[in-house]
Structure 1
């Protein structure tokens, strides 16, 4: 009879049991997909592109915080944050902390979207046709450019503030980040390098989408690429290029101004004065060039949460802004009427699930007007006077006989108010703002008007340098 050693038998049984347990415990997660199998075919890549668009809906990006926080940071008396959240209070007071969670969340969400686009771009070869490859490449590069443009403007100095070839912007990450180690070692590129990459991507995207893409406000088109290029060139004070790009953005006969300004925000001509909420909370219009789609099931409109008088009503419109309107300006109907005890509010975001109109025809008309005016010479597309009068006439105002730069900028300030344009416009026009507590003047190039690099990012990435003043 063979002798069985109890200790060895126990060990053998334990080892066998451990192997069985390991097999049971080694379960593939059902909520994520391994990078090795995520992009196997054309359908996977197209699904990845949809994920890029979904990322833009984030509360931390165009779902609200990006526009909301930058507008508050720039504000010099047009609006006032009266809520209790400390993060927006810091923005309005121009005293952002490196631990501001909304600033940190914007950084994280933006780089998440950038990584999604990089994964799509790395797998273009798996698409079925060259036409598909061109279209998907163009759309992904548009989204990546959109993210980098708003990141570099928020976290870096303005293009016209010092030397962009030495001023630090944000890290350029152009390939998929597959490990934590990859992400930890990325330094900040210069402002000039980031702008150069944006222009390269958008130029490529506009060319790729000449035959690809579809003309709708949901997906990026060549017109949206041209419109974003117009923004970039305007920020660089490259006025001739900005005018040309804005003109290309307006080139489709499918685009045009809505009859009534309120249609951009879900109102009709007949219901804006009496409706509690807009009658149409989702549909795009002929004025939309690129829109963030929001539904009850997808996306978030935090602009509704903060601005709408029937939600938190955290942002009030101040008399300074109300005083900009001429008598008869129908755009004023998108503001509530203040009383002795109740301030005014904007009605742009009354629809809880209203789409966020990120790029419209009116912006491009005013961009073309300003750029043509500043560039001088023969105007591209239309005269500055004609473009400004198109916007004014739609607002129920008399057309001007002649136009000045101040009038163009005033129309832009009214037309695009509370939509995230104020900080970029303030800096490129070198306008000062005001400390709401001390009433002291804050110059346009103050470090207080630049987002800090988030504290958590500095902790995990030793190659990142903090902005001046933090």
Structure 2
């Protein structure tokens, strides 16, 4: 993805350079927002800058305070927070160690970075949505609106799962989530936290709008099936199994995407594959793959195996023939003796993809729970996925076997803690709704906005 840096720099100067990136972002430069949003090209550039924040593109170090949370940081946080016996932490980053140990404090740097960058993306997106009248071409206006709402839905979905307790199907879900802000940045605005129910409603509204507005294909940016795949993920997290099944089935039947012929082919490339429904594009000039940073050896661009695979995880496989089990390599140098995943062995690979394999797992699980066979019988579907990795077929299914298949197929991709929470399994000896499994609201944000109530255990 080659971006026009001059436009991006202009947009970051106008909209995104406040060092206080939380809820109170506002333009700090002398150029007026009216000029910055005067043309379709400028509004498109603001949208482009939202993508750039997510993937850690900071032209000429203009704003080094953006951390590229979608280049791997959120997924790493999910897997460290959800770890029971799957990985070991061997690094020196205190904030990541504390997430791994479920011992965060209210100024945890990762919690601060994710919170700040999330609202920076939302601020850009809201500015775009407030200026759709600049587009005379209906198709372009719909595309821009769809991409903006996809990004906002994605960000709020991740935020409500990190900073709020798990959604419970059939309950009021009045537990606190995060503040919903739908207007362009304004430093005078102070907003309290919305409920988890309200945030999920906003996420579904944005993603359904995105699906309706986006084209079927959209290059390397979000398209309608990116939105539908994310909807399947959201419905599954809510326990809305029929909606999750049908959304996943729509993607599998109509997106034109399919599984790569082998498991390794989904990862042994820097570019998107036929299996990729959406990813954050990284090149050797722009963006950073943070998963590579923390999972890979120094020779492959990483820090030397901050996160390594445990024998307990490998023991979850029922066959030595399963290529997913063997998709590892031995550490060397500072990581000597460690077993590392080959999923993040490429320094400039695109980051945090939404994959077709996830859609198969969602459809199979939901069909099994509902006693249906929409698209494919669940046993056939699971065995098809296993067959790609040369794992022997299962004779029968149980829910535990399906959940184990999710853990084997999607390991180290940011699913762990949320899968354990939605199925109400203990995490490292803690109940799924333990307060230490929820991120703190950053204290610096609360200092600026007294309406932000802290999560229990972090005052």
Task: State TM-score, norm by structure 1.
Answer: 0.85
Per the alignment, residue 402 of structure 1 pairs with 396
Q: 1:30 to 1:125 in 2, by over 3 A?
A: closer
**Contact between 2:225 and 2:255, CA under 8 Å: does it hold in 1?**
no
Is the aligned partner of 1:202 residue 2:196?
no
Alignment equivalent of 1:465, drawn from 441, 453, 457: 453
Is the aligned partner of 1:352 residue 2:360?
no
Deviation string 1:275-318 (CA, Å, 9 cap, x unpaired) is: xxxxx3x2211000001100122211111111002322111111
The 1-side partners of 2:454 and 2:360 are apart by 38
Per the alignment, residue 22 of structure 2 pairs with none
Alignment equivalent of 1:180, drawn from 183, 187, 195: 187
The 2-side partners of 1:164 and 1:293 are apart by 38
Is the aligned partner of 1:430 residue 2:433?
no
**RMSD between aligned residues:** 2.0
| Larger CA Rg, structure 1 vs 2 | 1
Is the aligned partner of 1:125 residue 2:118?
no
Q: Describe how 1:206-355 pairs up with structure 2 within 5 A.
A: 206-209=211-214, 212=215, 214-216=217-219, 218-252=220-254, 254-266=256-268, 280=269, 282-310=270-298, 311-312=302-303, 313-325=305-317, 326-337=319-330, 342-355=337-350
The 2-side partners of 1:427 and 1:462 are apart by 29
Q: 1:371 to 1:297 in 2, by over 3 A?
A: same
Q: Describe how 1:48-59 pairs up with structure 2 within 5 A.
A: 48-58=46-56, 59=67
The 2-side partners of 1:50 and 1:214 are apart by 17
The 2-side partners of 1:418 and 1:29 are apart by 34
The 1-side partners of 2:42 and 2:253 are apart by 33
Per the alignment, residue 6 of structure 1 pairs with none
The 1-side partners of 2:169 and 2:106 are apart by 22
Displacement of 1:206: 0.9
The 2-side partners of 1:285 and 1:142 are apart by 21
**Contact between 1:60 and 1:66, CA under 8 Å: does it hold in 2?**
no
**Contact between 1:135 and 1:213, CA under 8 Å: does it hold in 2?**
no
**Contact between 1:288 and 1:357, CA under 8 Å: does it hold in 2?**
no
The 2-side partners of 1:162 and 1:336 are apart by 44
**Contact between 1:330 and 1:396, CA under 8 Å: does it hold in 2?**
yes
Q: 1:29 to 1:49 in 2, by over 3 A?
A: closer
**Contact between 1:164 and 1:190, CA under 8 Å: does it hold in 2?**
no
SS where residue 331 of structure 1 aligns? coil
Q: Name stretches of at least 5 consecutive residues in structure 1 with no aligned partner.
A: 1-27, 267-279, 435-440
The 2-side partners of 1:160 and 1:401 are apart by 32
Q: Describe how 1:447-466 pairs up with structure 2 within 5 A.
A: 447-466=435-454
Is the aligned partner of 1:366 residue 2:364?
no
Give aligned pairs, total.
416
**Contact between 1:213 and 1:219, CA under 8 Å: does it hold in 2?**
no
**Contact between 1:213 and 1:220, CA under 8 Å: does it hold in 2?**
no
Q: 1:426 to 1:402 in 2, by over 3 A?
A: same
The 2-side partners of 1:134 and 1:207 are apart by 9
